Structure 1
């Protein structure tokens, strides 16, 4: 059994910037090759593959973890804190149907990063904050190709969520052109899948998102 405190020390502050989520890529070698050019632009990487069975998920986590460690980027498992624990990743991101956050915190330890999907609900956010969440994720902020029927979170909601004193993550339909809207509303991190991984030049796309935090325009 993995000791949650053995692979990483207490996590540093999450900071501000790009939160990358992996695409549904069942070719593990290709997933690694797609991730290498963009990992250096990310504050966090979330392993997310809705098509993967448990064996493939563990294999892909094991491949991504050394890359993340090399670049100093925490790796989180989507929806599955047990996968994070078994693989030695630094944490997990949990939705409303993924088990108790308090249970995950107890299992992974105080040094783990545990994010919570709050959708469009400040009540969800309050409960997650009380249960020990490391950050609060809201979305979809814009129409999203990944989740076209997702609940919508407004900029006003992001501003209100700052009262919980935790990093705020915006997700859903965020592009380099609209990212500044959610950043100005208080998002500390913008979470992206297709906007980077499906771009013609993923590294350039990843860099473009960062301009929302600096206020400069891409050249």
Structure 2
């Protein structure tokens, strides 16, 4: 059962609350950049906990940026599920980003795509999705960051892993630690950076001090008994 949407959420959707307007100054450069949230919730293919239920849980707990990451379904099922999730996100005023399936952008109600493959043809993907959609990319080291920066088409990028090795089907990517983000800050990349990979609530304050714009979380939420409360804990650390 989908939780009832609070009145304040409905009012925000219609009028845009004053507090949201204030936050635009922090996150949104009207001349150059799209809005990028401080908190990204990443769904996972999980037995017994569907993507739809994950999004219901995350949105009801306050998440306003959802990245849909399904790697196991055929195209038609993906489209149906994304559009069902889009309705949930619309009800709660959350941004919906789909991972990798940029070719579906004209068939779904999503605000953008996130590309895991740093070697993908990002300028072509930008042409496919259009200028109004958000384009995010995954990066694991400085050379990859410089590569995506040089394309001039990326709105934000995730950078990691922070604390745990990530296997993307090729080689394990080494953890960056706090020092890896401090090294990145020195380069003045000019694109919002979202830390990812093994982040816990206790890491958030020090991570923000390295200059990152936000965090992307999945395992730290889905591996606990009360995922919604964990999302709220991350929000308390972020704001």
**What TM-score do you get using the length of structure 1 for normalisation?**
0.80
Give the Cα separation in 2 of the matches to 1:63 and 1:200. 25
Counterpart position of 1:101 = 122
What residue ranges of structure 1 are gaps of 5+ in the alignment?
1-9, 215-219
The answer on whether the counterparts of 1:183 and 1:212 sit within 8 Å (CA) in structure 2 is no
The answer on whether the counterparts of 1:19 and 1:190 sit within 8 Å (CA) in structure 2 is yes
User: Could you tell me which of 14, 18, 25 is aligned with 2:36?
Assistant: 14
Counterpart position of 2:4 = none
Give the Cα separation in 2 of the matches to 1:33 and 1:103. 33
Report SS of the residue matched to 2:53.
helix
Give the Cα separation in 2 of the matches to 1:62 and 1:26. 21
The answer on whether the counterparts of 1:94 and 1:116 sit within 8 Å (CA) in structure 2 is yes
- Choose 1 or 2 for highest CA Rg: 2
Counterpart position of 1:138 = 159
| Aligned pairs (5 A) from 1:1-219 | 12-16=34-38, 18-25=39-46, 30-40=50-60, 41-96=62-117, 99-119=120-140, 121-131=141-151, 132-143=153-164, 149-162=172-185, 163-214=188-239
How many equivalent pairs are there? 202
Give the Cα separation in 2 of the matches to 1:66 and 1:91. 15
Cα RMSD over matched residues? 2.6
Say which structure, 1 or 2, has more relative contact order (CA 8 Å, 6+ apart).
1
What residue ranges of structure 2 are gaps of 5+ in the alignment?
1-29
Distance 1:96 1:32, change over 3 A: closer
